[in-house]
Every structure is written in C-alpha cells, then in structure tokens.
Structure 1
Amino acid sequence: MSEDVGRAFLYEEIHDKIPEYKRPSSSSESDKDEPSIPAGRKKRLFGRKETVHTILGGGKSADIILWRNKHTSGGILASVTVIWLLFEWIGYHLLTFICHSLMLFLAALFLWSISASFLDRNPPKFLEVILSEELFLTVAQAVRFQINDAYATFRFVASGKDLKTFLMAIGGLWIFSIISNWFSFLTLFYIVFTIVCTLPALYEKYEDNVDAAVEKAMVHIKKQYAVLDEKVLQKIPRGSLSDKKHC
C-alpha cells in the first residue's frame, strides 16, 4: 500500500509540473492567431493595394488629374482645349502662336513699365530665373533611365523568350498605327490628355463597378487565350539555342 501511495503522489507531482496540452475545441479558435482577410475587402484592378491618388504620385499632379481642385483642373483642360481649337480649326501654326504670344506679353510689360512712372505706380517686377546644374542633371538621369528601360523591354520582347508579350507588343503597335492614321499628332495628343484628365477621376468614383467588370473580362480573355495557345501557339515549332550550338 505504501508503494502505491508513493507512486500516486509522484505521479501527481510530475503531472502538475507538465503543462497541460489543450486542443482547440473548434476551427474558429485555432484561427485566432492567423491573420484574417477582411470580409468587405474587394479585389482591385491589376491586384493593386494602393489608392488611385497614391499610384498617380500623391502630389499636386495627382490632385489635378483627380479633380481635387475643380477650378485648377477645369482651367487646365479649358486652356488645352482652346489651344487645340486654335491649331486644328483655325489653322494656327505653332511657331506663329509662340511669336504672337511673346509679342503681346512683351508689349504689355513694356507699356506697364512706361505708364508706371506717369501714374505713380510700381513697375513690373521681373523674377530672376537661374536654372541650376542639378536640375539638368536630374532631368538627364531620368531620361537616361527611361531610355535604358525602354531598350531593355525592346530587347526582351525581341529575344523570343515570351511569345505572349511579343504578340501583345505587336498588337498594341498595330492598333496605335491605325489610330494615328485617323488623327493628326496634335489631335491624338489632345485625346490622350483628355483621357488622362477624365478617366482616373471617373474610375476613382466608380472603381467598384469597374473592377468587377474588368475582372470578368480578364477571366474571359484568359479562357480565350488558353484555347488559342492550345490550338495554335503550341503547334508553332521553336528551336532552342542549345540545339543550334550543338549543330
């Protein structure tokens, strides 16, 4: 009896020192430590996580594009529209427009400077504008980066490593060449500028509906591309570079 009592006492002592393992009663308790996805979070266009304002830079340019200040955005769009009407409808030329604008500006400043002494008013103050070397270096570096990036993209598309990207590039250039035959360069620039000034603001306003519609369209496009890839693209013979070297 004494041995049984000793064993029971020893078992209770060891059992108290060992932490008890508790299995979760349900799956909901086991998922408490794992991060959960909010139920109201929706899938955004191209998998983006930032807002439209952040993607556009988040500065004054983004405020203008998204019409945060309606007077500034409307004034810029109206000015570009007037310039487009002058060149396309009236037949104004760019060099003539620049010369006439400078003539009017210089004449206004000249008359203001002369009349200021007779009318006892302050003459116009001319700001000293000196462009720094750092500004030109920054612009040159940005242009150099864009040129190198464009050349790297061109080299990747032309290397034959990705047939899908090649077909998309050819299709995009072909569509752009057709559109360029319909409009002049200035009209095409005005159309692109109008799209940039209107579509982002409209998308920000109706982004939930647009994201849902684009997601459905992308699913349909992927299905059609899968059929095209299976029936046509995979049947195109491709020679590897390693085979050519051995030959």
Structure 2
Amino acid sequence: MICNRPAPPLPHLYISEEITNDAATFIRNHINVLLRVSEDIALGRDSRMFVKVALSLLLISVIGSLTDFLTFIYTGLVTLLTVPALYERYEDHIDRYALTRYRYSQLLYVRFDAQFISKVQKWIVEKKKLS
C-alpha cells in the first residue's frame, strides 16, 4: 500500500561562523599546549613527563604485543564499565591500600634520590667546573 503524502520538511541545518571560530580556537589552543609539552620533553626540561610518556608507551607496547586490537578494545570496555562499580563498592579499602603504596613509593624515591640522583648531580657540577 503506497501513501501519497508529502515528505516531512527537513530542518535547515547550519553552523554559525562564531561556533566554527570557537571550535578552531579551542583545538588550536590544545594543540599548542601539546606541542609545548612535547618541546619541553624533547629538550629535557620536563624529565618527569618524559618518564611518564615512556612508561605509558612501554605499557601500551607490551599490552599490544600480547593481544589483538579487537580483544584489547573489548577488554578495555569491560574494564571501563567494571572498575568504577568495584571502586564505589570497596572505596575505603582501595583508598587505604593506595595511600599505603603511595607513601611506600615516596620512601623508595627518597632513597633512590639520596643514593643516585644527588651523586649524578654532584658529578655534573664537578664536570662543569672542570670545563
């Protein structure tokens, strides 16, 4: 059975120039921040961020070598949907454990700093004095 009704009217869609300029400015600002951070990492000004990026890439590489893309996405989705519910249920236990681990890692960093980083800094200062 064929109806002879007219098609519903289509709305007139448009994007204003103001919205386009705002979106372009937003994207430009975020790209500039990313480039500034990348430059700091490349020039050695932000060594902590360099270590974070290197460890993140290493983790992604290890996970990527263990599985294919579809399994990785599926596992990520399941994790993304499960972890917040588990955290909400066991929030007190997780927070207590995380705080304990954080304090322990700070203690390890202080020991590492005292043993290695300060020695390297002294060595660099001595080399600069000799130059």
Q: TM-score range by the shorter chain?
A: 0.5 to 0.7
Larger Rg: 1
1:147-195 C-alpha deviation (Å, 9 max, x unpaired): 2222222223333334443323322221122212223344434433433
SS in 2 for 1:128: coil
Equivalent in the alignment of 1:117: 3
Q: Which has the higher contact order (CA 8 A, sep 6+)?
A: 1
Question: Offset of 1:124 from its aligned partner?
Answer: 7.1
Cα 1:131–1:211 change in 2 (3 A) is farther
Structure 2 runs not aligned, ≥5 long: none
Q: How many residues are matched?
A: 124
Q: State the superposition RMSD in angstroms.
A: 3.2
Equivalent in the alignment of 1:178: 62
- State the identity %: 25
Equivalent in the alignment of 2:41: 157
With the length of structure 1 as denominator, give the TM-score of the two structures: 0.40
Equivalent in the alignment of 1:229: 113
Give the residue type in structure 1 aligned to 2:106.
Answer: K
Q: In structure 2, what is the Cα distance between the partners aligned to 1:221 and 1:207?
A: 21
Q: In structure 2, what is the Cα distance between the partners aligned to 1:116 and 1:206?
A: 60
Structure 1 runs not aligned, ≥5 long: 1-114
Equivalent in the alignment of 1:78: none
Question: Offset of 1:234 from its aligned partner?
Answer: 2.6
Please tell me whether the aligned partners of residues 157 and 166 of structure 1 are also in contact (alpha carbons under 8 angstroms): yes
Q: In structure 1, what is the Cα distance between the partners aligned to 2:39 and 2:110?
A: 26
Q: Which has the higher helix share?
A: 2
